[in-house]
């Protein structure tokens, strides 16, 4: 039987990788991918807890996180497209004026 803390440890490792990615990358799309990675890391710990303690709430939370992630991807990518149209670049450091 796999101990619960293995899942939680894996989840924290993945979350850290995602967080480091947000720090060191400057490409808007890659940063977005790292955010998805962090969401997934949290999902793993939620599902693990839910399955180990027999409470369905955690899995429903994951379900809702996924739908929110889908909505977020749609809006986020639309923002990225319009930034790219205006600046011909995806570097987040260059998008530093709060207007077009």
Partner 1 sequence: MEKVLFIVLAVLAIGTALNVIFQRNPLYSALSLIGTLASLSALYLTLHAQFIAAIQIVVYAGAIMVLFLFVIMLLNVPKTQPVVEKHKALGFLAIPFAGAMIAEAFYVLKTLADKKITPAFAIDTTDRAVGTTWSVGYSLFTQYLLPFEVTSVLILMAVVGAMVLARREGD
Positions in 49-78 near partner 1 (CB under 8 A) = 50-57, 59-60, 62-64, 66-75, 77-78
Footprint of partner 1 on residues 79-98 (CB under 8 A)?
79-82, 84-85, 90-91, 93
User: Of the two residues 2 and 97, which places its CB atom closer to partner 1 in the complex?
Assistant: 2
Nearest to 75 by CA among 37, 25, 32, 38: 32
* Total number of residues shown for the chain: 100
User: Which residues lie closer than 8 Å to 69 by C-beta, 6 or more apart?
Assistant: 36, 39
Give whichever of 3 and 98 is closer to partner 1, judged by the CB atom: 3
């Amino acid at each position: 039987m796999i101990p619960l803390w293995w899942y939680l440890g894996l989840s924290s490792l993945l979350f850290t990788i995602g967080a480091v990615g947000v720090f060191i990358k400057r490409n808007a799309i890659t940063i977005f991918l790292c955010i998805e990675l962090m969401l997934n890391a949290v999902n793993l710990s939620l599902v693990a807890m839910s399955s180990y303690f027999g409470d369905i709430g955690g899995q429903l939370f994951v379900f809702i996180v996924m739908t929110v992630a889908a909505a977020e991807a749609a809006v986020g990518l639309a923002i990225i497209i319009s930034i790219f149209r205006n600046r011909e670049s995806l570097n987040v450091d260059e998008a530093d004026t709060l207007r077009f």
